[in-house]
Amino acid sequence: RQLPEGRRATLASALELEGTVLREGRLTQFVANNLERRIRLSGAPRSEPAAAAGGGGSIPAIDPGALQDVVALAGQVAAQVDELLRNVHCGLQALTALSVGCIQTYRDGVESLGEAADLSIRAMYALVARCEELDRAMQPVPALAKRIRDMKGTLERLEGLCK
């Protein structure tokens, strides 16, 4: 809220009588004279200003209504804290269950991957063994091919003689 210029000047001059006013741009700071004395006086009971000014500090009477309000508010805060802790507990249980499910799924995936890798390795060894058997079985083939070529050459020569 903007105060009219006249009102602002009156307020500032009144504050200058009670303490120091510092202005920096739109920021105004106020430091009261005798701040400690003013704080002591503000906490003293209204009926005994002389005792407070003299330094004899007496504890003011406690309002029973205020105590009941504090107790009621403390009960509400305690109930809200209990509810919050229950909610946090439920949330943590849900997160824990989710984490356990994820870990079990990961474990199952790793186990099935291990089994699949093991089966693949066994199949590869079986394939290598079959290829070696095939290679051994095919060893006479080059000799047979040479014999077939020789026979073919012989047949061609015979045909050439028959013509």
User: Tell me, what's the pLDDT at 89?
Assistant: 96
28 is a domain residue: no
Domain presence at residue 16? no
Using the predicted structure, report yes or no on whether residue 143 has a pLDDT greater than 60.
yes
Overall average pLDDT of the 128-134 stretch: 95
Tell me, what's the pLDDT at 52? 46
Tell me which residue range forms the domain holding 87.
Answer: 73-162
* Alpha carbon 100 to chain centroid, angstroms: 18
Distance of CA 122 to the CA centre of its chain: 44
Split into its structural domains, the chain has a count of 1
- 114 phi and psi angles, rounded to 5 deg: -65, -45
pLDDT given at position 45: 61
Q: The whole model's pTM is what? A: 0.40
**Within-domain flag for 118:** yes
- For residue 159, the Cα-to-chain-centroid distance in whole angstroms is 91
pLDDT, tens digit (0-9, with 9 covering 90-100), for 32-56 = 788 777 777 777 665 554 444 444 5
